[in-house]
Amino acid sequence: MAPTEKRARVFVTGRVQGVCFRDSTRRQARSLGLSGWVKNLDDGRVELLAEGPEADVNALIKWCHGGPPIAKVDGVEVHWESEAEGLGEFRITW
């Protein structure tokens, strides 16, 4: 992995389940060329792990603050992690 690439684990709170947040996140991440995944959590949050060029990871995080049109995002918590290759194409996971 190139030194300019970063990995972020992101937790999004609010009305983010049942509003196409995961599918919209996947489309946004793929358009940015990022690797990783997105999933719903039992507590109502959405979690995602995104890896790629720092500017593109930051663009996805910025997008998460709004999400798709019918979502209502109350908060975005970001944890930067050590990079590890092998996440593959950005996908929805369960």
* Dist CA 30 CA 45 (whole Å): 21
Q: What share of the chain is helix, strand, coil (3-state, %, to 5)?
A: 25, 40, 35
Query: Which one is catalytic: 9, 15, 40, 58?
Result: 40
**Residue 57 has which token pair?**
């990871």
Q: Is 40 tagged catalytic? A: yes
**Pairing status of strand 35-40 against strand 91-92:** parallel
Query: Which one is catalytic: 22, 27, 30, 45?
Result: 22
Q: Is 22 tagged catalytic? A: yes
Report helix, strand or coil for 33.
coil
The residues annotated as belonging to the active site are 22, 40
